Amino acid sequence: MFRHIGRKVRGLAVAFCTVGMLGSIGAGVALYLTKVLQLIPCLAIGIGGVVVSWICSWLMYCIGDAHVKIERLEDKLIPKPAYAEYLATNNANRGTCEICGRTTDLIDAKIEDKMGVRFRKVCRECFAANNCQEAN
C-alpha cells in the first residue's frame, strides 16, 4: 500500500482535479437551475471551483512527482542487495585512519600506552608504528 506512493499521489491529483472541476460546474448549474442564486454568483462558483481545483491538483501532483524522482535517485545511490553482500564479504574495512587521517583499508586495533587502552580503526602503517594488537 505504501510502496511507490508518489505514483498514487499523482493519480489522486488527477482524480481530485477531475472531480473538483465537474463538481464545481455541477454545483454552479444546480444552484442556478434551482433559483437559489443569480447567474453571476453561479458562474463565479463554477469558474472559481475549476481554477481552485486545477491549482490544488498542481500542488498535489508536484509532491507526488518529487517523491517519484527521489525514489529513482535512491535506486541509483543505494547499493543493490547483491552488491552490498559482495562488499560485506569481499572488501576490507575501508575508511579514514583515526591516527594519520589517510583513507585506506583499516584494521581494528587495540592500542596500549601511557594513556591506557584504546580501540581505534587504523591503517597498516599506523598499526605497525604504534605497537598495536588486533582487537577481537
Instruction: Please tell me whether residues 54 and 111 are part of one structural domain.
Output: no
Which amino acid, residue 3? R
Tell whether 41 and 99 lie within a shared domain.
no
Query: Same structural domain for residues 18 and 63?
Result: yes
Q: Are residues 102 and 122 in the same domain?
A: yes
Sign of CA dihedral 23, 29, 34, 37: positive
18 and 39 assigned to the same domain: yes
Task: Summarize pLDDT for 12-27 with one digit per residue, the tens.
Answer: 999 999 999 999 999 9
Please indicate, yes or no, if residue 85 is contained in any of the structural domains.
Answer: no
**Is there a single domain that holds both residue 74 and residue 96?**
no
In a domain, 27, yes or no: yes
0.85 surpassed by pTM? no
Higher local confidence (pLDDT), 4 or 47: 47
pLDDT at 79: 61
Which structural domain, as residue segments, surrounds residue 116? 90-134
Q: Is the dihedral of CA 31, 44, 47, 64 positive or negative?
A: negative
Looking at the structure, tell me whether residues 70 and 103 fall in a common domain.
Answer: no
